[in-house]
Chains A and B, each alone.
Chain A
Amino acid sequence: MTGPLYLAWRYLVFHRVKAGILVLSISLIAFLPAGLNVLVGESAAQLRARAEATPLLLGAKGSPLELSLSSLYFESREPAAVPYDEVARVVATGLARAIPLHVGFRVASHPIVGTELAYFAWRGLVVAQGRQAAMLGECVLGAEAARRLGVAPGDAVVSSPESVFDLAGVYPLRMRVAGVLAPSYGPDDRAVFVDVKTAWVIAGLGHGHADLREASAASSVLRKENGPEGERIVANASVKEYNEITTDNAASFHFHGDVSSYPITAVLVVPPDDKSRALLMGRYSAPEETVQVLRPIGVIDDLLGTVFTVQGYIVAALALVAAATLATAGLVFALSIRLRRREVETLVKIGGSRGSIAVVLAAEVVFVLLCSGVLAAGFTLATERLGGTAIRNLLLS
């Protein structure tokens, strides 16, 4: 029996390009559904884990998916804003803690997330280098963001200009890096965290400029008025606005108008128990309500339902491709046998039985299928081992 197996092996080694293509084709077609399953499963697990860890989200009425993707993964378009006093409104119910989120600006490709210190404790994020942001204009970077931007505590990052041609719009703000978070292997790793007020400064809602009461700023003053709130100074466009908040100019930064009406994109609502959660959802379910409160896990499950349906279609398509591949492989073997008719006749003439020759030919098929199976299993194992990291990197990219 070893003789025919040896001949089959030598034939495949000699025709290694053809055999290699066959093995690769069959192994890929065997691996793809399994690999896809592993990757989709891993993606779903990671998406669900983040959603499950977020009990409730409050945001403007509109697309629940956009609100969830923006608030949980810092993806998607910036959702419509809700006023900052929605945080106080939630807290006033006594049913939950509330953490504001402002997601909309970027440092290069990294989202700037305006929030409060409570966010870090709630998500279990710890500072690995440096310290937490302590003053306006400071930021804390996720581990991946720091690595990609090549910055460390003490360096600075600049927010991306949002509207280059809008003179009254958002100007880049230079922010000092106070600390870098330890890796959490989630969307937080690629974010740049700032205090929500710093996000408002980037949005142009707060600003700092030279003191117009000083003599050196006289050329910037248009007029001075006395009103019921005291002296009011109107400046011209030459007044110098600061694009970096330092200890020297921090005191000059101020916000005009009612801060409680300032925009945030979402409120992370953390009720202590299911009952509080149900009560809160009930309170925000009135038709006249201007905001929505949703459970992110429900939204993500809906999204994953669609993903799984698409996966089903892809697997069905792969099954057709697999059938075509196997048919082609069968054709290759059949043609190969036809082309080797003289070889078969020679083997018969010098004493080989039809049976042993059939073993030679069948062994070639078995070797190819065996190698394909091993390769496909290897691919699947590697995907299982490395899939989690790959998906995390994909979600982080």
Chain B
Amino acid sequence: MVQITELSFRYGEPERGEQGFALRIDELRVAAGESVAFVGPSGSGKTTLLHLVAGILAPDAGHVLVAGEDLATLDDARRRAFRVAKIGLVFQEFELLDYLSVLDNILLPYRIHSILRLDGAARDRAGALAERLGIGDKLARRPGSLSQGERQRAAVCRSLVTGPSLLLADEPTGNLDPVNTGLVLDALFELTNESGATLLAVTHNLELLPRFDRVIDFKDFQPPPAARS
């Protein structure tokens, strides 16, 4: 599902005196349906890698192939279309829009990209997902009136409503208590297992790691000190 080769990426411009940050991955392959946890210290590039895989960022060098598509070779419009159709994103801070109802938040991808058609089937899918995640009775409410766990479950619904083959989760339980952490993770694993979607998740919670098929420590991707400067 995801194939990364000879990837290098650098933030900042050291020649202009800016503090640089670099990520270098020689090779990384994630099979379809696999669940992988990314761990490592803050600033080690976990979120950056998710953004590179999502096509939000473009690598300085190397290739990121998702479902056989090299995102770097696509123009901006096609890359966005690919992302909205194939990739679901879950954020630590939920990133729900406070002025939309829970249902409208779940259906947000359909509102911002014309490649997706908002029809009855999409609404039914949103409703069914919300029921599965225990927020079916809260579709008309605003995110502000939900608990933290309910908000993240709404965000998970949004990430899955388009039926993506790849789910990228950036610390999805970082702001949740243990009970909600369990609920959200259960939902993520259940739904990705059912759909056969691949799950890449960044987490600092080491207790969750046994649930993933594979754990990748980002200490392995740190360039040698000479390459950082």
For the complex of A and B, the 8 pairs showing the least CB-CB separation, nearest first, are A351-B84, A14-B99, A3-B111, A352-B112, A346-B95, A351-B113, A11-B99, A351-B80
Q: Which chain B residues lie closer than 8 Å to A342 at the CB level?
A: 95
Chain B residue nearest to A348 (CB atoms) is: B56
Contact of A10 (CB < 8 Å), options: B83, B104, B110: B104
Encoded as 1 (CB less than 8 Å from any A CB) or 0, chain B from 70 to 107 comes to 00000011001101100001010001011110001000
Q: Which chain B residues lie closer than 8 Å to A11 at the CB level?
A: 99
Encoded as 1 (CB less than 8 Å from any B CB) or 0, chain A from 9 to 25 comes to 01101110000000000
Chain B residue nearest to A14 (CB atoms) is: B99
Assembly CA distance A6 to B77 (angstroms): 22
Contact of B110 (CB < 8 Å), options: A3, A13, A349, A353: A3
Give the A-B pair count, Cβ closer than 8 A: 64
Q: A14-B98, A342-B95, A343-B97 are in contact. Are A350 and B111 (CB under 8 A)?
A: no
Encoded as 1 (CB less than 8 Å from any B CB) or 0, chain A from 328 to 351 comes to 000000000000001100111111
Interfacial residues, chain B to chain A (CB-CB below 8 A): 51, 54, 56, 76-77, 80-81, 83-84, 89, 91, 95, 97-100, 104, 108-114, 118, 142, 158
Q: Which chain A residues lie closer than 8 Å to B56 at the CB level?
A: 348-349
Say whether chain B's binding surface is mostly helix, strand, loop, or mixed: helix
Q: Which chain B residues lie closer than 8 Å to A350 at the CB level?
A: 83-84, 89, 108-109, 112, 158
Other 11 A-B pairs with CB < 8 A, given A7-B112, A11-B99, A347-B112: A3-B111, A10-B100, A342-B95, A347-B108, A349-B91, A350-B109, A351-B81, A351-B84, A351-B112, A352-B113, A356-B112
Interface size range of chain A in the complex? 20 to 34
Chain A residue nearest to B82 (CB atoms) is: A351
Chain A residue nearest to B107 (CB atoms) is: A3
Q: Which chain B residues lie closer than 8 Å to A347 at the CB level?
A: 108, 112
Assembly CA distance A357 to B108 (angstroms): 12
A353–B80 contact, CB under 8 A?
A: yes
A59 located at the interface, meaning its Cβ lies under 8 Å from any Cβ of chain B in the complex: no
* B69 nearest CB across to chain A (Å): 15
B99–A349 contact, CB under 8 A?
A: no
Assembly CA distance A356 to B80 (angstroms): 12
Contact of B112 (CB < 8 Å), options: A4, A10, A14, A15: A4
Q: A346-B91, A356-B112, A356-B113 are in contact. Are A351 and B83 (CB under 8 A)?
A: yes
Ordered by A's residue number, 30 sampled pairs between the chains whose C-beta atoms are within 8 Å are A3-B110, A4-B112, A6-B111, A7-B97, A7-B100, A7-B111, A10-B100, A13-B99, A14-B99, A14-B100, A15-B99, A343-B95, A343-B97, A346-B91, A346-B95, A347-B112, A348-B56, A349-B91, A349-B95, A350-B84, A350-B89, A350-B109, A351-B80, A351-B83, A351-B84, A352-B80, A352-B112, A352-B113, A353-B113, A356-B112
- Residue with the greatest number of chain A CB neighbours at <10 A, chosen from B80, B109, B111: B111
Encoded as 1 (CB less than 8 Å from any B CB) or 0, chain A from 306 to 329 comes to 000000000000000000000000
Assembly CA distance A1 to B118 (angstroms): 12
Contact of A3 (CB < 8 Å), options: B76, B97, B112: B112
Assembly CA distance A14 to B99 (angstroms): 5
* B40 nearest CB across to chain A (Å): 21
Assembly CA distance A353 to B111 (angstroms): 11
Q: Which chain A residues lie closer than 8 Å to B112 at the CB level?
A: 3-4, 7, 347, 350-353, 356-357
A1-57 contacts to B, CB under 8 A, are: 1, 3-4, 6-7, 10-11, 13-15
Q: Which chain B residues lie closer than 8 Å to A14 at the CB level?
A: 98-100, 142
A347-379 contacts to B, CB under 8 A, are: 347-353, 356-357
